[in-house]
Structure 1
């Protein structure tokens, strides 16, 4: 599995130029957007002027609640604690997700408000003589834990099933069956590639339901951890949100 952040929400160039003469503080762009959304709900100032008029107050001073970070971090903690997380929906992240099973894809699409573009087996050939050289597959972690006898393990049975499915697909394609019909024999373990986009609120909900320790299948817990890692790589200020017990 490979999870890589390929895009996230940014301030527009015109707005950045609009506020740059008033900014006297260091800020993260996603934090600045979240602050603008939150303060719009409670401030008499127009959204376009909030960073210019209120940014120094929130990003330039230490948190007054005795916890870490700035006054902006205190405000984010307060808003999250009060359940006003709709203000986090303005922050979007897009990921390239590669080499995950079709079984995982089925689990992932149960989460609402996430957007997907998924590699199509109707159009991408999976025969061994094609560019893909056949389908790859994910071996569930518990397959390697089972031994049925000295002569046969769960992995032996699993890999034999994958080879049989590949052979069946190749034969059907060689006989002239369209890809869209031949793909019916490809198992759920076969890998696919996904571009996923979600707003921060939806991604936090996904993480808190699929993180390790919540009873989810191992593969999707690894995806949840990969998404978390990529987000925190650019937005470390969100660490407390992923540590919330929900």
Structure 2
């Protein structure tokens, strides 16, 4: 599994030129968007005026709740605690997700609200051994790899990889008979890997992580994905770290 953050919420140049002149180097675009969304709900100001008018107060003053950070951090903590998290839907992240199983994909796409998917097609991408793909990749569950010996003295990995090779051979044979890829794919297993692009807003991602994080009963592969998504987000928006739970 390989996860890369392709893009995330940024501010337009026109908006940057209009906001207050304090140093913004330590303030992420997502925090500014979050503050704008939250304060719009309660302020007589126009959304475009929020940061230029109130930015110094919220980003320049220490949090009054004693929990650290700025007043903006306190406000975001407050709205998350009060479940007013619709204001976080304006913050988005786009990821490249590579080499995950179709089994994981089936679980992932159960999360629909706030998620957008573009998935590698087994209909249009050919997975024969002689195709550009070089054949289908697959994910081996750790529980299989842990089996040192099985019937006939073979390891779990040997049994599993042998099955994958057999499936590949049958896929190749069907394609060689003229069966179109969209039909030959029917023999491909849940273990077959795929790639996708995922865009998700912060509210939906926090909800996803709460359900799928390691140690919360989720299957190992999607739990691993949840943790890697969290790591990518926290790299660019450290202020979000405390809300992944």
TM-score in same-fold range (> 0.5) = yes
The aligned counterpart of 2:12 is: 12
Q: Deviations over 1:65-89 (max 9, x none)?
A: 1111111001111110001000000
Q: Deviations over 1:81-104 (max 9, x none)?
A: 001000000001000000000100
Question: Out of 239, 242, 245, which is 1:240 matched to?
Answer: 242
Aligned pair 1:78/2:86, yes or no? no
The aligned counterpart of 2:144 is: 143
Instruction: Give secondary structure in 2 for the equivalent of 1:158.
Output: helix
Q: TM-score, normalised by structure 1?
A: 0.95
Q: Deviations over 1:48-70 (max 9, x none)?
A: 10000000000001111111111
Q: Deviations over 1:217-238 (max 9, x none)?
A: 1111111011001101100011
Aligned-pair CA distance for 1:154: 2.4
Q: Deviations over 1:25-49 (max 9, x none)?
A: 4321110000000000111111110
Change (3 A) 1:109 1:55: same
Q: TM-score, normalised by structure 2?
A: 0.96
Count of matched residue positions in the alignment of Structure 1 and Structure 2? 241
The aligned counterpart of 2:217 is: 215
Instruction: Give secondary structure in 2 for the equivalent of 1:162.
Output: helix
The aligned counterpart of 1:29 is: 29
Q: Which runs of 5+ in 2 are unaligned?
A: none
Instruction: Give secondary structure in 2 for the equivalent of 1:117.
Output: strand
Question: Out of 157, 160, 164, which is 1:158 matched to?
Answer: 160
Q: Distance in 2 between matches of 1:96 and 1:164?
A: 30
Instruction: Give secondary structure in 2 for the equivalent of 1:42.
Output: coil
Task: Tell me whether 226-235 or 8-17 shows the greater mean CA deviation.
Answer: 8-17
Aligned pair 1:125/2:123, yes or no? no
Q: Which runs of 5+ in 1 are unaligned?
A: none
Q: Distance in 2 between matches of 1:129 and 1:184?
A: 19
Task: Tell me whether 154-163 or 50-59 shows the greater mean CA deviation.
Answer: 154-163
Q: Deviations over 1:104-161 (max 9, x none)?
A: 0000000122110000011111000011110010001111122334612322221111
